[in-house]
């Protein structure tokens, strides 16, 4: 079931979105070579709790930390650890959710650790561009497939591949609501988008194969099958009568 949001709901969601934006900004400012992914997690958690919010991911289906931190070939759902040290040249994606005033906000960025290669930078930039290509399609009357096909077209034009197993989603009182928002698809197909819907658009773009592996060891970590880099960029987006509105970006 798709839960449409009222104007009042959207005002509340803008608040949880803002907290997510602040937490991601803090991570971006803090990230540096030598830092562990647990330290980065704790910086984010401090911001969320400091704002009086709750980290959406902590305890979600048993997830053990505040945010998902996924370096290099980890696509998403990396578990922060004191044993994972970020080093110069790494890329690291950080996915953050905050629950405040009854609603969740959900967003992700991929950050550079120190100086990174031009190749890695191009992947990060393209993944962000893929989000904006998809977001432009998030308008009343369009279909979910319009978003996915726009994301896929841009990624593939740049020589990259789109992960199929993980997709975006509705956001609201629940972290994951209907409908699914795939990063691939056929324009004009799928669920119709209407104003009042709030969705997380979150391209996961791989430098090599689109295929991924799911860790049997920790039950969470998703990595590229070929070990090549992957990047992630996500915002919570409201579909309004005036077009798409990003709630998790200042």
Closest by CA to 4, choosing from 168, 238, 246, is 238
Q: Compute the C-alpha angle 2/6/18, nearest 5°.
A: 95
Query: How far is the CA of 149 from the CAs of 55, 187, 191, 211, in angstroms?
Result: 31, 6, 14, 18
For residues 119 and 179, which CB has a smaller minimum distance to Mg ion in the complex? 179
Minimum distance from residue 50 beta carbon to Mg ion (Å): 22
Closest by CA to 37, choosing from 100, 91, 108, is 91
Give me the residues that bind Mg ion (CB under 5 A), please.
Answer: 106, 200
Q: Compute the C-alpha angle 96/20/150, nearest 5°.
A: 75
The two beta strands, 161-162 and 168-170, are: unpaired
Minimum distance from residue 105 beta carbon to Mg ion (Å): 10
For residues 170 and 190, which CB has a smaller minimum distance to Mg ion in the complex? 170
Measured in whole angstroms, the distance separating CA 87 from the mean position of its chain's CA atoms is 22
For residues 56 and 223, which CB has a smaller minimum distance to Mg ion in the complex? 56
Minimum distance from residue 183 beta carbon to Mg ion (Å): 12
Distance CA 181, CA 176 (A): 11
Minimum distance from residue 15 beta carbon to Mg ion (Å): 18
Minimum distance from residue 175 beta carbon to Mg ion (Å): 7
Walk across the sheet containing 204-206 and list its strands. Answer: 161-162, 204-206, 230-232
For residues 188 and 219, which CB has a smaller minimum distance to Mg ion in the complex? 219
Residue nearest to Mg ion (CB): 200
For residues 122 and 173, which CB has a smaller minimum distance to Mg ion in the complex? 173
């Amino acid at each position: 079931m798709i839960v449409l949001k009222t104007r009042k709901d959207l005002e509340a969601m803008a608040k949880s979105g803002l907290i997510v934006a602040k937490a991601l900004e803090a991570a971006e400012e803090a990230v540096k070579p030598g830092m562990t992914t647990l330290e980065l997690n704790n910086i984010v958690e401090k911001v969320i709790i400091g704002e009086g919010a709750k980290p959406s991911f902590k305890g979600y289906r048993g997830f053990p930390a505040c945010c998902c931190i996924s370096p290099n070939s980890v696509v998403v759902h990396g578990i922060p650890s004191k044993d994972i040290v970020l080093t110069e040249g790494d890329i690291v994606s950080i996915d953050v959710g905050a629950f405040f005033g009854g609603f969740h906000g959900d967003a992700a960025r991929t950050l550079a650790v120190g100086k990174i290669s031009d190749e890695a930078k191009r992947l990060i930039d393209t993944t962000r561009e893929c989000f904006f290509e998809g977001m432009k399609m998030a308008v009343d009357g369009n279909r979910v497939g319009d978003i996915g096909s726009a994301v896929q077209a841009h990624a593939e034009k740049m020589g990259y591949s789109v992960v199929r197993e993980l997709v975006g989603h509705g956001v609201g009182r629940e972290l994951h609501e209907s409908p699914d928002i795939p990063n691939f698809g056929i324009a004009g197909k799928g669920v119709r988008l209407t104003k009042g819907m709030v969705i997380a658009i979150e391209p996961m773009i791989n430098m090599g194969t689109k295929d991924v592996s799911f860790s049997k060891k920790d039950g969470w970590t998703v990595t590229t099958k070929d070990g090549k880099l992957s990047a992630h960029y996500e915002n919570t987006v409201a579909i309004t009568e005036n077009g798409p509105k990003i709630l998790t970006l200042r």
